[in-house]
Chain A
């Protein structure tokens, strides 16, 4: 560490963190209780005490590209023991939220995703895309969006063709991947530079093979939510988070299988309920609804934890996704065609939101935290 360090506070950065849920950050008096209270903080350069002073001094460069803020799982053990009510857990949450919008381009879209006033616009974007694309295709004689689907059997593809769905969502997935790829390129280089500056690693360069191996080693930890369960204060949260986490994995598997079934085996849905893949879909859907409902309930019950728009946007979206998905299926089986088609449309709007804005929303943590954990493993943080 240099003997002299000129602090150049970024006041706007401090204000932004305060708005993003870190309004208590200035209360910290650097007693370092939090670094010890944290059950998952390493022994060498532990967090979050050093992050608290960096936040207080507006040292943006020490926080945004700092992998440690992602190692934190916001369990709240630090906040519970904090003698000043500075809520380090919430401050780190705010830093993560800031970092997400910093790494996801275009930045204006990130701003929109985090602005409650822009929510109607976000919901309107998929509606417009669906309708315009469907109507334009009609002009060319391709009838993939049919507002009066006929026939006895309710099949959502008769209303909103699977081809149209994929025509929108396959490129959308690529867009998400591309934004993440661009963000990660900067992110990985930043966290490595930060680790070198702060003496958190002895690795000079990132070796790709070693990094991928480290990633392999942290995957089981993530799958088992080991870091979550080390938590003292907020342990019940691990259950609801696991439910949502596995339901997304389940639904991803279901989507992948049916994608293959459709394109390789040319078999169209709806698929029968006795199909084991359908079981997985149903179980996942129910888990998604219950898990996200529990998460909302737990968040409302925790009065010492700050919840801001970014939290509610994601939780609302996930619950909405689960509910509309399950209700679409139930109304289809119950024969309520009109309601079912409407719900399906809303469901697609939610799915679009989740996919398109994934790199800009709080859900991006699934990528950044995974990478940060892999990096910590690679760098030998202990």
Chain B
């Protein structure tokens, strides 16, 4: 039987995980923060701007990274995944697999390794919309601020070149995956979400027509550190689109896909409309919806401003079919449920407002947890010890995720106290 531990394990380094870790550590508790990517920040890091104030992610993440850096009670593991969890509230044995980064703490982010690396790999941070070198920094403000060497080039000449180019002896090609055993008193799962796979929605043409993108791809296109340096260009010919269609509930509130409302997609599309209006003041924007959901007074105000915009058209009716039009354009088909007319709207770019699916929908965690039908973790407060916060628990925006994270940090602390 493991002895009681005073440490909290936080699994997932997105906005929820950062919040749990900081709230707990800043009240005096030891925290292990585990992240499977080579960087912290999760989905928020991929956004151009986020609610409620339309800040760039640097705004919120930078201060959190700073707090983590300054806090000796938080120990961060990147490229790490939890393999096993045993025990009971107050005393858990956790085994952690840490994958090699092949770059050690000597790295100064000089970029010489990337300069000499010839292999290019798909940039998953940008949803494969561009490529990155085999030795790369995930994004400018990545934390930890260290390059990563992709396992795809290990064992190649490229890897050797990277090592030779490094003046600081920071490249360690012999690094191996290792297992670490931790003793913790409570666990908070902030494993977050994946954008729902739009290619599963047959009738909406994603993957068939290049100018149909997803809302998260739109975030990357609009982002200054994205594949187009913040210009919204359509994938087929890099044209600046003059018209956009947004398809709401693309896969959400749909028994054939995600039966629940993903909560964020309405606000995301309204926000995207502001991205487009800033860049292309004459562009026409058509938003097709079932119901527009703008929860709370602030979001309601945001929605009202969008609604008043004469270049933005809100149409009640779900897009159920898409077809190819001339010059790479796409025509969407919907019934306007207010007028009872079938509409065919052609646009130069179509954005699918795809929803969020919990990471745990595809792969269950190696711990004794309960899930609902959609794969979200159910918080069992009677049992205690392990809790889910943020989008691991339910679809949520950043504000709600942080509220949930703060609450679960307290639950995790209470577990240690008892």
Contact = CB atoms under 8 A, between A and B. Distances in A.
A41 B341 CA distance: 11
A46 B320 contact: no
A36 B256 contact: no
Contacts of A84: 255
Given A29-B290, A32-B334, A46-B335, A37 B340 contact: no
Contacts of A43: 341-342
Contact of A31 (B203, B318, B333): B318
A335 to B, nearest CB: 58
Contacts of B291: 29
Interface string B217-258: 000000000000000000000000000000001000111110
B330 to A, nearest CB: 15
A202 to B, nearest CB: 15
Contacts of A32: 290, 316-318, 320, 334-337
Contacts of A83: 249, 253-257, 318
B255 A37 contact: no
A49 B335 contact: yes
Interface string A267-306: 0000000000000000000000000000000000000000
B335 A36 contact: yes
Given A31-B290, A37-B320, A37-B321, A44 B334 contact: no
A35 B342 contact: yes
Interface residues of B, number: 23
Given A32-B318, A35-B342, A36-B342, A49 B256 contact: no
Interface in A31-71: 31-37, 41-46, 49-50
Contacts of A82: 255
Given A33-B318, A49-B335, A44 B341 contact: yes
A127 interface: no
Q: Which of A36, A43, A85 has the most CB of B within 10 A?
A: A36
A133 interface: no
Interface in B329-350: 333-337, 340-342
A82 B254 CA distance: 8
Instruction: Tell me what chain B mostly uses at the interface: helix, strand, loop, or mixed.
Output: loop
A35 B317 CA distance: 10
A380 to B, nearest CB: 15
Nearest to A34: B320
Contacts of A46: 335, 340, 342
Contacts of B318: 31-33, 36, 83
A81 interface: yes
Contacts of A33: 318, 320
A39 B325 CA distance: 19
Nearest to B254: A83
A83 B318 CA distance: 11
A30 B321 contact: no
A81 B320 contact: yes
Interface string B289-331: 0110000000000000000000000001111110000000000
A36 B320 CA distance: 6
Nearest to A83: B254
Contacts of B333: 36
B321 A45 contact: no
A28 to B, nearest CB: 11
B211 to A, nearest CB: 20
Contacts of A85: 255
A36 B321 CA distance: 7
Contacts of B203: 37, 81
A42 B342 CA distance: 8
B387 to A, nearest CB: 32
A42 B335 CA distance: 11
A85 B317 CA distance: 17
Contacts of B319: 36
Given A31-B317, A33-B320, A44-B341, 17 more contacts: A29-B291, A30-B290, A32-B318, A36-B318, A36-B321, A36-B333, A36-B335, A37-B203, A42-B342, A43-B341, A45-B341, A46-B335, A46-B340, A81-B203, A83-B254, A83-B256, A84-B255
